[in-house]
A and B are shown apart, each in its own frame.
Chain A
C-alpha cells in the first residue's frame, strides 16, 4: 500500500519525467529554489521513492548533522504514509532504512577526492553501493565548474546519478530560461533541472530541463506544510 502510494505521488513522474529513474547513469539533476522553499524536502521525498524501489541512496549533507537529516526522512515518510497501519509503517521504515546512508561534511572540508575515498571505503567492504546520491548544501556560486565536472566523472565511474540542491538568491533576477546567473556556468552539465517558486503563500514546482516532450508544461502546486504534491 505505502509503496504504491508513494510511487504515485512521486513529484517527478507527475511533472512529466518519463520514468522513475529520470536520469541515466552519470546524470546530474538539481532542484533550484530560494531559501526555505523546500529543496531538501523535495529531494528527500525523491530519495524515499528510490529507497522504496530498493535502490540505495547516499545522502550527503554539507549543512546538517546526521541526526537532523534522519529526522527529515522519518517525518516525510510518516507524512506520506499517514493513515496506514502503524505496524505497517514501522515495518516499511525499517526495511527501507537499510537503503539509505547519510554522510555529512563541513562545507569547507568537502572535496571530491575525500567523498570518493569515503565512498570507496563503503563499496569495497560491500557496505553500501549507491544508486542515487543527493548532495545538499553545495554552494554553486563559490565552487567552480571543476568540482561539478569531477562529481559528474565520479557519478559515471560508479554508475550512479547525483541530485543537488541549488540555493538561488532573491536579489538575482533569473535569465529567460528561468536559470539564475550564478548557475549558468554549470547548467550544461545537468540533465534535469527542477525549480521551486513561491507565489504568494503557495509553492509551485516546475520542470526547467529534461522532461519528456509530451509532458505537461504547467507548474504543480506543492503543499508548503509537507512539501508534497497537492492532489
Chain B
C-alpha cells in the first residue's frame, strides 16, 4: 500500500435509474484491472456485473446494495462508495453521503436530467459534495450531450462546462476530443482498452476551438494566472487550465462534463483521468467532528495520519465470517492489533483483521491511514459509531437521537417470515438509532417506530427484499403526548381494609406544568408526615402514572409533582400503599390541571421547480401547515414549513401528482405542539373507539 493522501479519491457514482451506473462501475473496475472480464448487467453470459453481488441484483439487473470497492488508476487509489438511492433522509443515507469526497453524476445523453438526477443532485448539494458529470449512452439514437449540458445549467443550476466534444454520435461514436489537450482520443480494441491519440479531425476543429474558448472563459473565474495568460494572449498550458477547472469544481461553482458510452467502452478512461485530476483528495475536504468534552463543539479535522485515530463506521454487512464494519478513517491510522474505543458506549475494541473491499471479495491489509476506507472484522458496533484512540472523546455524528414520532404495527404472514422479520428488525435497529421496535403488551403486535412514514416504509420494503420477510402493516399511528396546563392540588387517601393486612397512605401536594423536563418530583414533606422510606414509593407511583394519561392513554410529559403533606399508619402503610396513593392522587389532580394533547410537528422542506410553488404551498396549507418561508434558487425553490405529522400521511404521492413528480421533500421532527381544540376532540373520539375495539 502506498501512503500518499493526495492520491486518494473517495467517490460515489450517482445517477437516475437505468442511466448506466452499474455498467460504468463495471468498466471502471475493468480498466483499473480489478476485474479481468466484462460482464454486462443483463449479459448473456449469466455472470452479471461485478458490483451487483447480491443474487437479486444480478437477476433483475439493478443495484440494490453494492459494496464499497476500490481500484487504482495512474497511481491514484479510487474508493467507490455505494450511494443509497432512496429519497428519504434516514440517518443511514446521511452517513453514506458523509464519507464521499466527490462524485460522478451520470446522465443519459438521451434522457438528460431526469427526476432522480434532480434528487441525487440535491443530495450532493446538501452535503456539499463536489462533482463531475458524465454524459453516458452517447451511442444511443437521439443522443445529444450538449442538450444535456444545457439541462444541467437550467434544471440543476450547475455551471456545467464541456471538457470534451464527441467524435461522431449515436452509432457513429468513435471517441472524444479532449478540449484541454486539444487532441482526438479514440478507444479501440475489443474492450476499448487501446487508446489512440490523434490530431483533431478537420471537420471538428472549429467546434473544438469554440468549446475550448468556453471552457477557458469559465475556468478563468477561478484562476488569476489563467486570466493573465488570456489577457496576454499566451498559449495556455493544459496543467494551468486543469488547475483552474479543479478550483471551480472543488468549490462546486463549476461542473466539468465528460462524455462517452460505458457500454460501448468509450470515454471511461478519460473520465477516470477527470476523477483523479478534478475531484478532491481527502485532506482537501473539510471534515468536522464534535467534541464531546466541549458540548458537542465542532472541530475541524486535519486528515493527519500521525494524530490520534478518529474513524466512522458507516456501513455494516453480515458476511459469512460475521459482521463486516466499513469504516472511513478521518484522522490517525487504524492498525491491525491497535486498540480503539467506541465513543458511543466507551467500549475498548482490539482491531483484528483489516481488509479492503472489492465488491464481494476482500484483500487483507495491515493498516488504514487517514483518508482511507476499509473494513474491520469481528467488531461489535452499530453503524454510525465513531472509533477513536484512547483518551479522545470526539464523535463524527451527534449523539442526540430524537425520539420516534410515528409507529406502525407489523404482522408477519407466516412462521418463516416471523423468523426473518425478527432478524431484520434486530439488524435495522442496530444500523439506525432512530428506528425502534417493541411488542405491544396489550395487543401482542410487533410495533416499529421511526421518524416518518417513508422512513418506516423503507424498512418494511427492505425486510421484504433483503430478508424475504412478508409482513402486513397496520395504519401508522402518531405518537401523541399529553401534558397539563395549570396547577392543581391533590389530597388523596388510599385506604383498603379487605381482610388480611390493610393498606393506608395519604398524599397531599400539587402538580404543575414544566416546559423543560419530562417529569420532576419534589419532596417538601416536613416533620415526617410521610415517613422517609415511603417517599421513593410515592415518586414511583407518580412516575407510573406518567406512562399513560387517564383519559386518552397517551404518555404524559412536562409535569412537576410536589408533595408537601400526608399521613401514614404504623401497621397498614407500605410501599405498595403509597404507590397506589400516588396513582390515585395523580388521577385526581390530573383532570383538574386542564390536560391537553400535544402532537409532533415536522419540519417539512419541499424542493420544487418554481412553477409549482403556488400549488405546493396550497398543499402544505391544507394540512394545517405553517409556512415559514420560501427560498428562490433560480429554477428551483425551497419551501420551509412546519406541518403536524398526522396530516402528512400519503403526502409524497399527493406531492408527486401535484408537481408531475418534479418536487421532493424531506421531513424531520421539529417540536411537540398543542393540538387545536377541534382536532383534540376528534383524537379523543378515535382513542375511545380504539379502546372499545381493543376490549
Contact = CB atoms under 8 A, between A and B. Distances in A.
Interface of A: 59, 65-67, 69-70, 86-87, 90, 94, 97-98, 101-106, 109-110, 114, 118, 121-122, 124-128
Interface string B353-383: 0000000000000000000000000000000
Interface of B: 513, 515-516, 613-614, 617-618, 621, 626-634, 638, 640, 673
Given A87-B515, A121-B614, A103 B630 contact: yes
A54 B630 CA distance: 21
Given A86-B515, A86-B516, A87-B515, A66 B629 contact: yes
A101 B629 contact: yes
B252 to A, nearest CB: 16
Contacts of B633: 106
A39 B628 CA distance: 22
Nearest to A94: B673
A69 B515 contact: no
A179 B271 CA distance: 58
Contacts of A67: 640
B630 A87 contact: no
17 contacts: A59-B629, A66-B628, A66-B629, A67-B640, A86-B516, A87-B513, A97-B628, A103-B629, A103-B630, A104-B630, A106-B634, A110-B632, A118-B613, A125-B614, A125-B618, A127-B621, A128-B627
Contacts of B630: 66, 102-104, 118
A121 B513 contact: no
Given A70-B629, A103-B632, A104-B632, 11 more contacts: A59-B629, A69-B629, A101-B628, A102-B630, A103-B630, A104-B630, A106-B634, A109-B632, A118-B630, A121-B614, A124-B614
Contacts of B621: 125-127
A137 to B, nearest CB: 13
Contacts of B613: 118, 121
Across the A-B interface, the 5 shortest Cβ-Cβ residue pairs: A102-B629, A121-B614, A66-B629, A105-B632, A104-B631
Contacts of A66: 628-631, 638, 640
Contact of B626 (A98, A103, A110): A98
Nearest to A66: B629
B206 to A, nearest CB: 33
A124 B629 CA distance: 17
A102 B628 contact: yes
A90 B627 contact: no
A19 to B, nearest CB: 29
A125 B638 CA distance: 19
A128 B625 CA distance: 12
A56 B618 CA distance: 18
A178 B632 CA distance: 35
A127 B632 CA distance: 18
A10 B628 CA distance: 24
A111 to B, nearest CB: 11
A106 B632 contact: yes
A103 B633 CA distance: 11
